[in-house]
């Protein structure tokens, strides 16, 4: 037990900090790209609608593991896409950013679908009223429909975020040293403490996901559109 | 959706049509430019060279790597979905039990395994099974994948079934009680069949998730389709084409399953049209607890 703690204790916070950072950057990126996709999906331009539909259907049906590996082997090793400055920590930070890119590409499709469901909860009269004031599509979308839809879908967006948090473990397949990779290496070196290692990592994840859930539950109530 | 999209903008007049055309052209130019850039980089790297793609015309590539990998993916997904259905039924019914301790235990199991990353569960099972030699070592990674997928999907299916059972009109269970069915009979003969039918689309969507998640076995050497694609690629030296081929296979399978789920959903909804069916997208929002990792709070 004490040897386990000696090797695992100091590594615990750095590993979970990487998990949190992966989640944070991916969440921001997915929200932005997801809103753009959702906007395209309801836009008056058929080409944009088609693009968003194809993108969402293709990416959503691809295993995330494959997307992450594609970001590493495909984009970096074969196409030379380097996302980090060339310095001592290049491999580490490049893999981190490639993983974030992969998570954004994947998670944004779920953000898009959730938002699109949210658009349908906005009463038609709202959009009609906005149009009767002479607002253009970007104005109707950005000022009237999107803000109301966002407030309606806070809770489902929370579940997308929780799913994203859990998915960040997949970054371990391209060597990002987050919590799942720590767990794997600890299981390899301290094979007699399987249950303890599992419990520590599990509790770590539950602390993150449960607090996300609590926050989004609170936020959904706080900002819900009263209709 | 077609209704909603027209509510956001008027039927376009001449100016709006012109504007939309310009937007469309600009958008197409941007997309084509991005694609063209990617294609040119790929071409410079020789990714379109015939020898990178030829391996896929050789039968050996398929019989040695891709098809066994695909078999691994399908096998893991299928076995775990069947097991998850069984476990999910027990947990889902358990959460509605009359006995408090059964409710609490099932609820605890469901919440814990839904809150944990599947990969973590798989790592745990892999090392646990290895240490206690629970399964033969050749089946170790398969067992770990199935373990992780079963517990996670079982928990989600439990929630899906519970939602389905609660959605069955109260009159059904009242009628069942009035003709003297016992609780287990009522569950088995009246509630569960209706719940499963109503939730069939959600259950099929869960299969897509299991199929995609079986690729997690990659992390500890399970021979599934992504792993076998990479192994074949390291033999032929064509990483990118292999990933593309594997992606296409998975997308086609999952797309068909998703399409089937949507078709079923439409059919089921048509059958229930008279009952004031809610907007499908809004209903989806309300059943978002089916989304992986959703914790119902408050």
Give contacts of B 98-127 with A, CB under 8 A.
112, 115-120, 123-124, 127
Q: Are A202 and A13 within 8 A, CB to CB?
A: no
When pLDDT is cut at 50, 70 and 90, the band that residue A187 belongs to is: confident
> Cα(B80)–Cα(B73) distance, rounded to whole angstroms?
11
Q: State the virtual CA torsion across B107, B110, B115, B120 in degrees, nearest 10.
A: 140
Which CATH architecture does the domain made up of A1-223 adopt?
A: Orthogonal Bundle (1.10)
- Between A and B, how many residue pairs show a Cβ–Cβ distance under 8 A? 210
Conformation bin of residue B296: beta by default, left when phi > 0, alpha when psi is -120 to 50: beta
> Which one-letter DSSP state was computed for residue A153?
T
Q: Residue B279 has what pLDDT?
A: 58
**Shortest CA gap B91–chain A (Å):** 20
pLDDT, residue B289, reads: 43
Average pLDDT, chain B: 81
Q: What is the DSSP string of B16-72?
A: HHHHHHHHHHHHHHHHHHHHHHHHHHHHHTTTTSHHHHGGGGSHHHIIIIIHHHHHH
**Residue in chain A lying closest to B234 (CA):** A73
- What are the distances in angstroms from CA B288 to CA A89, B8, B292? 40, 25, 9
Q: What pLDDT is recorded for position B6?
A: 60
Q: Say whether B291 and A160 touch across the interface (CB within 8 A).
A: yes
Local confidence band at B135 (pLDDT 50, 70, 90 cut-offs):
confident
Residue B296: which of A74, A76, A221 has the closest Cα? A221
Position A2 scores a pLDDT of 67
Instruction: Give Rg (Cα) of chain A.
Output: 21
**Residue A104: its pLDDT value, please?**
94
Q: Do A49 and B5 touch (CB under 8 A)?
A: yes
Are the Cβ atoms of A120 and B1 closer than 8 angstroms? yes
CB contact under 8 A, B215 and A118: no
In angstroms, the separation between the Cα of residue A89 and the nearest Cα of chain B is 24
**What interface predicted TM-score (ipTM) does this complex get?**
0.87
Residue A128 has pLDDT above 70, yes or no: yes
User: Is pLDDT above 90 for A25?
Assistant: yes
From B4, B127, B213, residue closest to A191, measured CB to CB: B127
Convert B26-53 to b/e letters by CB count within 10 Å (16 or more is b): ebeeeeeeeeeeeeeebeeeebeeeebb
| Residue B151 pLDDT > 50 | yes
Predicted local confidence at residue B73, as pLDDT: 87
> B residues 143-182 near A, CB within 8 Å?
none
* Contact in structure between B181 and B190 (CB atoms under 8 Å): yes
What residue spans define the domains of chain B?
A: 57-271
**What is the average per-residue pLDDT within A21-26?**
92
pLDDT band of B241, cuts 50, 70, 90: confident
What are the distances in angstroms from CA B180 to CA B93, B173, B174, B190? Answer: 20, 11, 10, 13
pLDDT reading at B268 higher than 50: yes
* Comparison of pLDDT for A31 and A180, the residue scoring more: A31
pLDDT tens, B6-55?
Answer: 667 777 788 888 888 898 999 999 999 988 888 888 778 777 776 777 76
From CA B14, how far away is CA B16, in angstroms rounded?
6
Q: Is A69 strand, coil or helix? A: helix
Residues of B in contact with A198 (CB under 8 A): 120, 123-124
Phi, psi of B25 (to 5 degrees): -65, -45
> Given this model, what pLDDT does residue A29 score?
94
For residue range B274-294, list pLDDT tens digits in order. Answer: 455 555 566 555 554 444 444
Position B266 pLDDT exceeds 90: no
Q: Are the C-beta atoms of B188 and B111 separated by less than 8 Å?
A: no
Poorest-pLDDT segment among A8-17, A29-38, A46-55: A8-17
Report the CATH superfamily, name and number, of domain B57-271.
MetI-like (1.10.3720.10)
B255 and A205 in contact by Cβ < 8 A? no
DSSP track, B234-271: HHHT-HHHHHHHHHHHHHHHHHHHHHHHHHHHHHHHHH
Q: What's the N-to-C CA distance of chain B in angstroms? A: 30
Lowest-confidence segment of B2-6, B132-136, B194-198, B291-295 by average pLDDT: B291-295
Give the residue carrying structure tokens 């607090």: A211
pLDDT score recorded for residue B295: 39
According to the model, what pLDDT value does residue B297 have?
Answer: 34
CB B22 within 8 Å of CB A47: no
Which three-class secondary structure state does DSSP give residue A44? coil
Task: Show residues of chain B in contact with A145, CB under 8 Å.
Answer: 8
> Which among A107, A218, A210, A108 has a CA at the least distance from the CA of A155?
A218
User: Of B211, B240, B298, which has the smallest distance from its Cβ to A78's Cβ?
Assistant: B240
| Structure confidence at residue A112 (pLDDT) | 92
**What band does B188 get if pLDDT is binned at 50, 70 and 90?**
confident
Which of B10, B30, B119, B287 would best serve as a mutation to test chain A binding (most A beta carbons within 10 A)? B119
Q: Do residues B61 and B232 make contact, with C-beta atoms less than 8 angstroms apart?
A: yes
């Amino acid at each position: 037990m004490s040897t386990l703690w000696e090797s695992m204790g100091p590594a615990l916070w750095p590993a979970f900090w990487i998990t949190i950072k992966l989640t944070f950057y991916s969440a921001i990126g997915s929200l932005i790209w997801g809103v753009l996709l959702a906007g395209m999906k309801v836009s008056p331009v058929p080409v944009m609608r088609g693009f968003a539909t194809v993108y969402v259907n293709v990416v959503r049906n691809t295993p995330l593991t494959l997307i992450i590996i594609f970001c590493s082997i495909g984009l970096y090793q074969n196409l030379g896409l380097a996302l980090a400055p060339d310095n001592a920590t290049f491999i580490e930070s490049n893999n981190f950013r490639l993983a974030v890119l992969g998570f954004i590409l994947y998670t944004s499709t779920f953000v898009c679908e959730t938002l699109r469901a949210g658009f349908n909860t906005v009463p038609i009269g709202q959009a009609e009223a906005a149009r009767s004031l002479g607002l253009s599509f970007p104005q109707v979308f950005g000022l009237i429909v999107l803000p109301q839809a966002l407030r309606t879908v806070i809770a489902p967006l929370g579940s997308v975020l929780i799913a994203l948090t859990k998915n960040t473990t997949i970054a371990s397949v391209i060597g990002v040293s987050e919590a799942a990779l720590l767990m794997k290496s600890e299981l390899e070196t301290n094979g007699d403490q399987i249950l303890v290692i599992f419990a520590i990592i599990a509790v770590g994840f539950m602390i993150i996901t449960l607090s996300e859930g609590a926050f989004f539950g609170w936020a959904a109530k706080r900002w819900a559109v009263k209709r | 959706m077609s209704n909603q999209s027209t509510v956001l903008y008027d039927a376009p007049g001449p100016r709006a049509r012109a504007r939309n055309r310009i937007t469309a052209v600009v958008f197409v130019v941007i997309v084509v430019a991005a694609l063209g850039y990617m294609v040119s980089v790929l071409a410079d790297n020789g990714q379109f060279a015939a020898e990178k793609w030829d391996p896929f015309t050789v039968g050996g590539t398929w019989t040695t790597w891709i098809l066994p990998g695909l078999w691994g993916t399908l096998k893991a997904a299928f076995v775990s979905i069947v097991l998850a259905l069984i476990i999910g039924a027990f947990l889902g019914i358990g959460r509605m039990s009359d006995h408090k301790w059964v409710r609490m235990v099932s609820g605890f199991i469901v919440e814990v395994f839904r809150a944990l990353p599947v990969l973590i569960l798989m790592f745990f099972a892999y090392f646990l099974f290895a240490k206690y030699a629970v399964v033969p070592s050749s089946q170790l990674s398969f067992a770990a994948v199935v373990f992780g997928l079963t517990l996670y999907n079982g928990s989600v299916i439990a929630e899906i079934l519970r939602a389905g059972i609660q959605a069955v009109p109260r009159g059904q269970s009242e009628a069942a009680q009035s003709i003297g069915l016992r609780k287990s009979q009522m569950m088995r003969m009246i509630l569960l069949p209706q719940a499963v039918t109503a939730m069939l689309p959600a259950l099929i969507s869960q299969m897509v998730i299991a199929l995609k998640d079986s690729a997690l076995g990659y992390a500890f050497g399970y021979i599934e389709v992504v792993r076998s694609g990479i192994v074949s690629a390291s033999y032929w030296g064509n990483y990118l084409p292999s990933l593309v081929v594997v992606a296409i296979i998975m997308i086609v399978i999952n797309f068909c399953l998703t399409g089937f789920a949507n078709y079923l959903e439409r059919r089921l909804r048509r059958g229930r049209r008279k009952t004031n069916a809610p907007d499908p997208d809004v209903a989806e929002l309300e059943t978002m607890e089916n989304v992986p990792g959703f914790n119902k709070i408050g």
